[in-house]
Amino acid sequence: MAESPALPRYLEIQRDLQEKIASGEWGPGSRVPAEHELQALYQCSRMTVNKAISALAGAGLITRRRRSGSFVASPKSHETILQIHDIQAEIAASGRPYRFEILARQSRKMTDEDAKRLGLARSGEILALVLVHFAANRPFVHEERLLNLAVVPDAATESFSAAPPGTWLLGRVPWTDAEHTISAEAADAAIAARLGIPAGAPCLVMERRTWQAGATITWARLTYPGATHSLTSRFSPGGAMT
Amino acid sequence: MAESPALPRYLEIQRDLQEKIASGEWGPGSRVPAEHELQALYQCSRMTVNKAISALAGAGLITRRRRSGSFVASPKSHETILQIHDIQAEIAASGRPYRFEILARQSRKMTDEDAKRLGLARSGEILALVLVHFAANRPFVHEERLLNLAVVPDAATESFSAAPPGTWLLGRVPWTDAEHTISAEAADAAIAARLGIPAGAPCLVMERRTWQAGATITWARLTYPGATHSLTSRFSPGGAMT
DNA sequence: AATCGAATTATGTATAGACAAATAAACGAT
DNA sequence: ATCGTTTATTTGTCTATACATAATTCGATT
């Protein structure tokens, strides 16, 4: 059996087209039949066809131009969606016990260095933290973090005893923009000692800046021992269409 | 004037809602007005409202449940779209002259190591390449690549004199699935020599496997000197809605 | 009180039709 | 032959309506 998928018409069409593109039957640059042709082919209304094609256009598989028609897009890059989970949740999900230690905490007026990291010109109060996250009592990642107290004043009096600042923020302040930078660096002596690795060992470093409506909320720098951590993502173009 | 934005109705609504979510006015879990309410509010048809909300639902900002209604989603992770450009295009875009050198090329029956890298169990013919890409005559990235000749037989006779294998593939074989792994590793002696960096220097390593309809097309391992290269991405949830 | 079932409600899908906007192609005049 | 104008085609948006589907609520029956 398995023959009445109860699959909506527009998804059926969408998958049909997608399959033709994925298989190479319609190579990059080929013309996709016009909406009225597909409408006749599939015996449905134009809106239904439109919904299918528009979805593929949104996913970047097809580009559309008025009067000219729709064409199979030629990929110019690999694109992947990187899911960066909350550290606490990530460790908990792996079944290992989680804890963290705050090594340093300081409220201060923004230094030039702080301002640069937050991407801000003018001054203000910030909260600076240094902490280490542990998975099964072994150091997992080293975190340096700056919080812009102008945007998150509550943080000044928060103890962060229940949840680390990253988790605390995530559930409290909605962000509208984030910038991630991933790089490889040699561990400096201080961080190496805290992570229990040799100085100079390669580390995966992730820097993140987060904004809400133009205002920088926070900056974080996460240093993972390179030997134990990597980022993996699997991706299919036009993925969200089950 | 400047008052006729010519912005379509559904985008206007979409941005309105998005703004309410981004600003925190509608916190995570809040109920979004039902379609018929928004329809009355914006004086438009339900389909128009539906298009706006559906787009936000697709972007993950809203979750919808029949009969219950629509609710602002609560983010559980940072998610970012990593654009990994074609190396040739990336260097060319930076204005520096590009060239590459093929250091090794071998057609062979798949070894166990090859099979593991490609994620395949059984055997077959592959093409193995080692190359270095240069930007402005300085080593930019070291590439090891395996091509599954069962899927891309043309590669066996291709000289790759015009374009490197990555670029060549991108314009030829459509891929349906890709897996990326990003890690930090110390450069081994051979790679360090080819990149002109000290052995043991931290490197950003990106491994990629690419499939077409279940069949592995290629495996690639790109090693970037950590001192000069990083991956950056800026992301706003619900981004693709200009 | 517990359970089953029906009415209600919000979303999901689909239709037919209409007009707008962009632009490639055909056409015409200089 | 070149330039500007008209025409035709294709996508973009919108409407009003209809029925399907899932799920909550509430009432009736046991």
Cα A193 to chain centroid, rounded:
29
Find residues 113-142 of chain B whose CB sits inside 8 Å of chain A.
none
On whether both B108 and B138 belong to a single domain, the answer is yes
Cβ of A34 < 7 Å from strand D? yes
Confidence of residue A121 (pLDDT cuts 50, 70, 90): confident
**Residue A240 pLDDT greater than 70, yes or no:** no
A to B CB pairs, distance under 8 Å = 183
Do A180 and B84 make contact, defined as CB atoms within 8 angstroms? no
pLDDT at A61: 96
In this structure, are B176 and B220 located in the same domain?
yes
Strand ranges (E), chain B: 31-32, 62-65, 69-72, 77-85, 98-109, 125-135, 138-148, 177-186, 202-212, 215-225, 230-235
Q: Return the higher-pLDDT residue of B223 and A239.
A: B223
Q: Per the CB < 8 Å rule, is A234 touching B173?
A: no
- Is residue A65 domain-shared with residue A29, that is, in the same domain? yes
Please state the domain count of chain A: 2
CB-based contact (8 Å) between B30 and chain A? no
B226 at A interface, C-beta within 8 A: yes
pLDDT range class, residue B28, cuts 50, 70, 90 = very high
pLDDT value of position A1: 42
- A18 and A109 belong to one structural domain: no
Q: Which chain A positions have a beta carbon within 8 Å of B170's beta carbon? A: 75-76
List, for residues B31-67, the tens digit of each pLDDT value. 999 999 999 999 999 999 999 999 999 999 999 999 9
Chain C: nucleotides below 7 Å from protein CB are 8-18, 21-24
Range A211-217 average pLDDT: 92
CATH number at residue B118: 3.40.1410.10
B180 touches chain A (CB under 8 A): yes
Domain-located, residue A137: yes
Residues B102, B152, single domain; the answer is: yes
In a domain, B81, yes or no: no
Contacts of B175 in chain A (CB under 8 A): 75, 237
Chain A contact for B173 (CB, 8 A cutoff) = yes
Q: Is the CB of A141 under 7 A from strand D?
A: no
Question: Each residue of B156-188: b (16+ CB within 10 Å) or e?
Answer: eebebeebbbbbbbbebbbbbbbbbebbbbbbe
Establish if A237 belongs to a structural domain.
no
Assign residue A35 the CATH number of its domain: 1.10.10.10
Are both A58 and A91 inside the same structural domain?
no
pLDDT of residue A239: 64
Taking the C-alpha atoms of residue A163 and residue A86, their distance in angstroms, rounded to an integer, is 11
**Does A202 contact B224 at a Cβ distance shorter than 8 Å?**
no
In this predicted structure, the answer to whether residue B129 has a pLDDT above a threshold of 50 is yes
Q: What is the mean pLDDT of residues B66-74?
A: 95
Question: Three-class SS string for A198-216?
Answer: CCCCEEEEEEEEEEECCEE
Spanning CA of A32 to C1' of D10, the rounded length in angstroms is: 12
Q: How far is A165 from chain B (nearest CA, A)?
A: 14
**DSSP, residue by residue, B160-181:** -SSS-HHHHHHTTS--SEEEEE
Looking at the domain assignment, is residue B79 inside a domain? no
Nearest residue in chain A measured CA to CA from B72: A174
Whole-number pLDDT of residue B5: 57
Q: What is the residue range of B144's domain?
A: 87-225
Residues B199 and B147 in one domain: yes
If you compute the radius of gyration of chain B from its CA atoms, what whole number of angstroms results? Answer: 24
Give a yes or no: residue A238 inside a domain: no
Nearest nucleotide from residue B42 CA, by C1' atom: D14
- What DSSP element (H or E) covers B64? strand B62-65
Strands (E), chain A: 31-32, 62-65, 69-72, 77-85, 98-109, 125-135, 138-148, 177-186, 202-212, 215-225, 230-235
